[in-house]
Amino acid sequence: MRTVPNLAIVNSPTLDSRVTERRNPRTVDIDLASPLEIVDQINAEDRLVADAVASQREPIAETIALIESAFRAGRRLLYIGAGTSGRLGVLDASECPPTFGTDTGMVIGIIAGGDRALRTPIEGAEDDPDAGAAEMDARDVSQGDVVVGIAASGTTPYVRGALTRARALGARTALIACTEPPAAMRAVADVCILPIVGPEVLTGSTRLKAGTATKLVCNLLTTGAMIRIGKSYGNLMVDLRATNVKLQDRAERIVMEVTGIARDDARALLTAADGRVKRALVMQALGVDAATADARLAAEGGVIRRVVPNAPPPVTSAVTSSAAERAS
């Protein structure tokens, strides 16, 4: 492909210092690329994302611990952001009830401009720090809550306003950004998670690598915290809500796999457990009713492994072979 003769502009110090706003020297000719070359270039950049997230393992783990403490105290995780960042927080929050059986108020996603901004861009909304602060008041944020601001550029005024107010109200705060944030933003975050993925394929388009990195971090935060409070048994999702045919089937298969009973019996057990997989497993293992199962779980922080000492059955050789075949 043709080479642009003058690349001095690529990372000129006179331009925006934020990594997310710099030009990527590896994709300056992407406008001349074939469809396959576009795929290859974007995919090559995406390979950088996982390592950037891994570099933040310690602050991510620290934030998981904060969220676990909040959940155990009956408090909440609130994501707040604008544009793509806000949409990713709302997405992660909306996935928690069906996956982990949580109440809708346990993990909350807030986007600048309100729910209309999920479908219709309201870009100017990100520039109002007072609006971010007002959201914290409207949500009754207080001590014990964890507020995670998402700002790919690290500078979004709406997010800064929210974190500033959240801290004043006694909440713990964290920031997810894909560039080094300014001192004013660092000052209002107890923890900074900074998966710096480098300049985007298209300059400033943080829906690309930065968005992917943000989604991975959000996955880690909620999944890690939910595991810590007992939402899994081994790697089985035992607090899912069977709200559709697929999830009902999954719930029955989990009960069958762990207990060894037939599907009809698993279905009957789930009915007696009001559809709660975790409750059903304890009822079956200990031979108790639903109320007793709940009491035993509550006494052990909701963690099945502390109530039922046996580990889940190992993955069968058939499953292992199938996975190996797909990987080969």
Query: What is the predicted pLDDT for the residue at 1?
Result: 40
Single-letter residue type at 282: V
pLDDT of res. 312: 86
Give yes or no for a contact between 80 and 149, defined as CB atoms under 8 angstroms apart.
yes
**Is there a contact between 193 and 219 (Cβ–Cβ < 8 Å)?**
no
Per domain, the residue ranges of the chain are 57-228, 232-327
Q: How many residues does the chain have?
A: 328
- What region, left, alpha or beta, does residue 112 occupy, with left being phi > 0 and alpha being psi -120 to 50 degrees? beta
CA dist 211 and 107 (Å) reads 20
Instruction: Give the model's pLDDT for residue 30.
Output: 93
Buried b (16+ CB within 10 A) or exposed e, 105-122: ebbbbbbbbeeebeeeeb
- pLDDT at residue number 12: 53
User: Structure pTM?
Assistant: 0.87
Point out the catalytic residue in the list 21, 95, 180, 257.
95
Please write the tens of the pLDDT for every residue from 53-76.
999 999 999 999 999 999 999 999
Residue-level pLDDT at 124: 83
146-168 burial code (b ≥16 CB/10 A, e <16): bbbbbbbbbbbbbbbbbbbbbbe
Q: β-strand 146-150 against 77-81: which pairing, if any? A: parallel
Q: Is 303 left (phi over 0), alpha (psi -120 to 50) or beta?
A: beta
- Looking at residue 242, its pLDDT comes to 77
Please identify which of the residues 21, 45, 68, 126 carries the catalytic annotation: 126
In this structure, CATH architecture of domain 232-327: Orthogonal Bundle (1.10)
Per-residue pLDDT, 68:
98
pLDDT for residue 309? 79
- Residue 56: its pLDDT value, please? 98
Query: Which two tokens mark 76?
Result: 């909440």
Paired tokens of 104: 């809708």
Active site residue 325: no
Q: Is 252 a catalytic residue?
A: no
Q: What is the pLDDT of residue 326?
A: 53
- What's the chain look like in SS3? CCCCCCCCCCCCCCCCCCHHHCCCHHHCCHHHCCHHHHHHHHHHHHHHHHHHHHCCHHHHHHHHHHHHHHHHCCCCEEEEECHHHHHHHHHHHHHHHHHHCCCCCCEEEEECCCHHHHCCCCHHHHHCHHHHHHHHHHCCCCCCCEEEEECCCCCCHHHHHHHHHHHHCCCEEEEECCCCCCHHHHCCCCEEECCCCCCCCCCCCCCCHHHHHHHHHHHHHHHHHHHHCCCEECCEECCCCCCCHHHHHHHHHHHHHHHCCCHHHHHHHHHHCCCCHHHHHHHHHHCCCHHHHHHHHHHCCCCHHHHCCCCCCCCCHHHHHHHHHHHC
Are 210 and 197 contacting, i.e. CB atoms less than 8 angstroms apart?
yes
Residue 22 has a CB neighbour count (10 Å cut-off) of 19
In the predicted model, residues of the chain with pLDDT beneath 70 are 1-15, 317-328
Radius of gyration of the CA atoms of the chain, in A: 23
The CATH fold of domain 57-228: Rossmann fold (3.40.50)
